[in-house]
Amino acid sequence: MAPAVPRSGDAIFANVERVNSELFTLTYGAIVRQLLTDLEEVEEVNKQLDQMGYNIGIRLIDEFLAKSNVTRCVNFRETAEVIAKVGFKMFLGVTATVTNWDSEGTSCSLILEDNPLVDFVELPETCQGLYYCNILSGVVRGALEMVSMKTEITWVRDMLRGDDAFELQVKLLKQVPEEYPYKDDE
Amino acid sequence: MVREVSESCMDSLLTEIVSSYCNRFYANKPELAARRIEAIGYQVGHQLSERYTMERPRFSDHLEAIKFICKDFWSELFKKQIDNLKTNHRGTFVLQDNKFRWLSRMSGDPSMELSNAAQDPSAMPENKTAQATGMHLYFPCGIIRGALSTLGIPCAVSADISNLPACSFVVRIKV
């Protein structure tokens, strides 16, 4: 029996083109800072970061599928494991752990203890209410939507708010059936 | 060991900065969008050059600082140095990267469209590829300006892509 799903993204991460994470981290920080200046409302910044993430996720899923050779996951549990161990690793170079499953197997938490987005970051008092890493939840939501899963993603814990880890709750809302036949000429 | 992330992360952010500012926040005001994208780059350049010069002695003159940008700074960002540096010795420097990484993934054939655009600037607004490429370049221009300003050199930076895939950054030091 062939191992259908890679259990780790280490090998893929080792083979992709990589950049210095400082450039990435500081660029993200500069975006958040500029959005706070331009949009003024923290709520609106959260919304826009999520939207940016969503836009990235719907594109990144293609690269993920192409490079990871992941085939169809048998259930949402497997999907969550693949995101945590392969997806996060392959792009951000870190892995998440999956925990806090509900009894139906449709809701779980992704826990990140190491998160390159927040290196050097401290939130000032005026930014209470900001979900600094909201782009990440948008990416996961966008990527899953492209493989027919509608999800709702919320931050449960946030190290920038004093928690001991980042915890993203991922709730599967519904699985959209794929439509056949695909139109070949589009 | 230097911490790294996949290049796609950086490419994705850059694409999203440009599309958010050009298509959502300032859809009909490209000059404003450009200024914001440049400002984000400026902030990044400012912080990076502080980090990369922490343990260095002060630069003795403008040329030394520019050389630092061409070699060490560029290598940290793009794993290669600037390929060619020219100056008129009156405060203008041209930094040429023969294969600028952030343009190598642009789709379409910007070289053709841009050379047309260069001949006929009025065609610019209709030329989406050229416009998008131009918008992407405000970010690295901002990075260079931010880095040099932090080193005590106020300047203006523009980009010239008439020789794609080469990209030249023109630094004009303010006196």
Considering the domain boundaries, does residue A135 fall inside one? yes
Candidate from B8, B13, B79 with C-beta closest to A27? B13
Residues of A in contact with B14 (CB under 8 A): 27
Number of domains chain A contains: 1
Per-residue model confidence as pLDDT tens digits over B131-154: 778 899 999 999 999 999 999 999
Considering the domain boundaries, does residue A186 fall inside one? no
Candidate from B8, B25, B40 with C-beta closest to A60? B8
Q: How many helices (H) and strands (E) does chain B have?
A: 7, 5
Burial label, A185 (beta-carbon count in 10 A; 0-12, 13-18, 19+): exposed
Q: CATH number, domain at A99? A: 3.30.1380.20
Considering the domain boundaries, does residue A118 fall inside one? yes
Extract the tokens encoding B126.
């209709």
What's the pTM? 0.89
Helix H, strand E, coil C: the string for chain A is CCCCCCCCCHHHHHHCCEEEHHHHHHHHHHHHHHHHHHHCCHHHHHHHHHHHHHHHHHHHHHHHHHHHCCCCCCCHHHHHHHHHHHHHHHHHCCCCEEECCCCCCCEEEEEECCCHHHCCCCCCHHHCCCCCCHHHHHHHHHHHHHCCEEEEEEEEECHHHCCCCEEEEEEEEEECCCCCCCCCCC
Considering the domain boundaries, does residue A4 fall inside one? no
Q: Which domain holds residue A92?
A: 20-175
* pLDDT band (50, 70, 90) for residue B125: very low
Candidate from A55, A59, A90 with C-beta closest to B6? A90
Considering the domain boundaries, does residue A50 fall inside one? yes
Extract the tokens encoding A156.
């449960």
CA-nearest residue to A44 within chain B is: B25
Q: Do A34 and B36 lie within an 8 Å CB cutoff?
A: yes
Q: What are chain B's domains?
A: 7-173 (3.30.1380.20)
Residues of A in contact with B17 (CB under 8 A): 27, 31
Considering the domain boundaries, does residue A160 fall inside one? yes
Considering the domain boundaries, does residue A171 fall inside one? yes
Least confident segment among A76-80, B19-23, B125-129: B125-129
Candidate from B15, B40, B76 with C-beta closest to A34? B40
Residues of B in contact with A31 (CB under 8 A): 13, 17, 40
Per-residue model confidence as pLDDT tens digits over B84-102: 999 999 999 999 999 999 9
Contacts of B168 (CB under 8 A, 6+ apart): B94, B95, B96, B97, B159, B160, B161
More confident residue, B33 or B127: B33
Residues of A in contact with B4 (CB under 8 A): 18-21, 93
Which residue's structure tokens are 């990076």?
Answer: B48
Q: Do B44 and A33 lie within an 8 Å CB cutoff?
A: no
Per-residue model confidence as pLDDT tens digits over B57-69: 889 999 999 999 9
CA-nearest residue to A13 within chain B is: B6
Mean pLDDT of chain B: 87
Mutate to test the interface with A, among B1, B9, B24, B51 (most CBs of A within 10 A): B9
Given a cut of 60, whether residue A94 has pLDDT beyond it is yes
Mean pLDDT of chain A: 91
- Percentage of chain B beyond pLDDT 70 is 86
Residues of A in contact with B3 (CB under 8 A): 20-22, 93, 116, 119
Considering the domain boundaries, does residue A106 fall inside one? yes
